[in-house]
Structure 1
Amino acid sequence: MKFITLGPSGSNHEFVTRRYLDFHGLRDSATMELTPDFEQGAQALLQDRADFMVQCAVHPATAETVAKCFEGLYVIDSFISPSQDLAILQRSDVRHPQSLAVMPPTLPYIDRSQWRRIELVETVAQVTRGLIDGTYAAGLGYASAAAMHPELLHVAQFVGTVDDAWIVYGRTRLSAGRLTAWRDSPAGRLYRQAA
């Protein structure tokens, strides 16, 4: 069984997909492949080169991916998961960085007015890697990178994480045209308590 999700290695998609596989006890029986974009991931699924695909619901390509239901790609599951903790990381060898590297969807997480220039980067993993290799002096990256590279980076501002909705795709339509939901979910219990 092969799951596919968005790379590069170290991405939130990889992190959350591993958590999903662990949740279902699939770590030993499933493999994971990283794709450079969801169009290629969807094609791998449709061409039987992968079995399932995991995508963050707020990813810019989600609407196009869901539309592939007309080609045989179906939403088969959804779940909520926090991503990796984020922080504004700064290289220790730069005293006063003038620009901040940020993936566009994470820009609302911070006050951008404190930066003279914002550099838009495709993924948080690329921001983090760019901080480590010196491409960027400061950026909104994975907080764990400061602990892994204390000689290079420090946390200028801890941001934390958000709980995102995630979508799992497969080639078998499971809803059969009906609402598919978990009545005894934590939200279902909350609704019953509130009623």
Structure 2
Amino acid sequence: MLIFGTLGPAGSNHDWVVKRYLEFHHLDHTRIELFTDFDDAFEAMFSGRIHHVIQVAVHPSVTTTVAKYRGRAHLIDTFISPSQPMAVLTRSEVDPPSTLGLQMATRDYIDTSRWPTLVSEVSTVTVAQGLLAGTYDSGLTLLAMAEQHPGRFRVDEIIGTVDDAWLVYGLEPTCQGQVQAWPDSPAAALFRRANLQHDLDKGA
């Protein structure tokens, strides 16, 4: 059984997107193991406890990851996936809010200057947990939280889904010194259409 490691907790965007990636490849005999940080996930891969690690490319640890594990953890695949719908939620009894919980990779999705204090969290799910616990007034988290807890939060801003690039690591390299890309990808089709249009315009 193949075991894929990614960032938890359960229900996080990492957890949700990895499940979709495995479904896309029809990988039925697999399991996902969730970690609190990527260092633990990579150490688990090096020890043979898991086989692959999947990480969103905008995660703050990506630069460190690529440098720190160069030659040991190899990039073997990339893909694009939308996130779960996100929003800024504020506890209903608070007005105006002064503290905002968020995963720092999402910071530039909104204008955070409205909140004097920003609280960094591991994931959008831990942001939701912090909101429920009253740790802060507002949170950039999953929109579904408002639906799951009617009356507890007001929706201050809907962000929706965000298309992100995702990185898949393994122990065995797949890139053999040349560009490794999908020649029949949707992007490749766009490039071919642009080339064809250029030729037609030139001929006209």
Q: TM-score, normalised by structure 2?
A: 0.88
- DSSP-derived class of the 2:150 partner: coil
Q: Which moved more, 1:62-71 or 1:43-52?
A: 62-71
Indicate the SS of the match to 1:8.
Answer: coil
CA distance in 1, matches of 2:111, 2:35: 32
Match of 2:26 in 1: 25
> Which range is displaced more, 47-56 or 130-139?
130-139
Structure 1 distance, partners of 2:116, 2:62, is 32
After alignment, is 5-14 or 115-124 more displaced? 115-124
The residue matched to 2:165 in structure 1 has which SS? Answer: strand
What CA distance in whole angstroms lies between the structure 2 residues aligned with 1:94 and 1:179? 52
Paired position in structure 2 for 1:52: 52
Is the partner of 1:9 in helix, strand or coil? coil
In structure 2, the residue matched to 1:142 is: 142
Alignment gaps of 5+ in structure 2: 196-204
The RMSD of aligned alpha carbons is 1.5
Provide the residue aligned with 2:125 in structure 1: 125
Q: Distance in 2 between matches of 1:168 and 1:81?
A: 13
Q: What's 1:103 paired with? A: 103
The structure with the largest alpha-carbon Rg is: 2
After superposition, where does 1:158-177 map in structure 2 within 5 Å?
158-177=158-177
Contact 1:132 1:153 in 2 (8 A): no
Q: Which residue of 2 aligns with 1:10?
A: 11
SS of residue paired to 1:31: strand
Alignment size in residue pairs: 193
Q: CA offset at residue 12 of structure 1?
A: 1.1
Give the match's secondary structure for 2:18.
helix
- Secondary structure at the aligned position of 1:181 is classed as coil
- Deviation of 1:178 after TM superposition, in Å, equals 1.9
TM-score normalised per structure 1:
0.92
Aligned to 1:155: 155
Alignment partner of 1:5: what SS? Answer: strand
What's the CA shift for 1:29?
0.9
Structure 1 stretches of at least 4 aligned residues deviating more than 4 Å after TM superposition: none
Distance across 2 between alignment mates of 1:81 and 1:65 = 21
Matching residue of 1:193: 193
